[in-house]
Amino acid sequence: MDEVGEAYRGVRVRVGRLVTDADAAALERIAPATPDWTVHDVLAHLVGVITDIVSGNLDGVGTDPWAAAQVDRSRTRPCDELVAEWYEHGPVVEEMAAQFGRAAGQLLSDATTHEHDVRGALSAPGARDSDAVALSFGFLAQSLGEQLDAGNIGALTVEHGGATHTVGSGEPVASLRLDDFEFVRALTGRRCVEQLAAYDWDGAFAPAHLVLARFAARPDPLVE
């Protein structure tokens, strides 16, 4: 099992414990920055991704309709049943992750993002320095770099955890000091523009450019 598979397993185990320990009312809370999904719905999506990979149901993989179908088909299923399905199929995908190439990064960053959506809904912060967050930083930084290059925006230097990472190619036009967790939350639309602007910036860079195009900045602040 490679490092992505190991990190994904950590997400699966942590989220599985969180939702198993939650009561019925908590499972119906809306998870922050999701398309009006409850905690149960987020679990249904996470489990559905793995089940679809194992079963070969990859038509429309990664799209909103693909994810919505996972939620819809499991909306009334008990949490314990969903967790059991995740524990059945998850190890298979975790062992296969090394074969997925870049798609493995997307799988992990999606799961990591939703782990913290669940934690937010359940008021159970934690795992912000996990290997899943660190690896998601790298995948999302690559995606952002490609987006900045495509838009001729210029590169961005990110100082995080004692390291420096240049996002995009060419000469950096700005620098940002931010930890891995906050970077992952920002790029996946879990922060509003005002929050993005309040980061520790140097140089000319529109904060909204920090959000990946497949997401959108929140309309209001989310403090976690």
What's the rounded mean pLDDT across residues 203-207?
Answer: 94
Listing DSSP states for 98-111 in one string gives GGSTHHHHHHHHHH
Mean pLDDT of the chain: 96
Dist. CA 16–CA 54, nearest whole Å: 19
Q: CA–CA separation, 53 vs 45, rounded Å?
A: 12
Proportion of the chain above pLDDT 70, given as a percent: 100
Burial class of 64 by CB neighbour count within 10 A (0 to 12, 13 to 18, 19+): exposed
Predicted TM-score (pTM) of the model is 0.96
pLDDT tens digit string along 63-79? Answer: 889 999 999 999 999 99
* pLDDT surpasses 90 at 32: no
Task: Give the pLDDT of residue 164.
Answer: 96
Nearest to 16 by CA among 131, 120, 115, 122: 115
User: Is the pLDDT assigned to residue 33 strictly greater than 90?
Assistant: no
**Mean of the pLDDT values across residues 115-119?**
98
**Residues contacting 195, CB < 8 A, separation 6+:** 186, 218, 221, 222
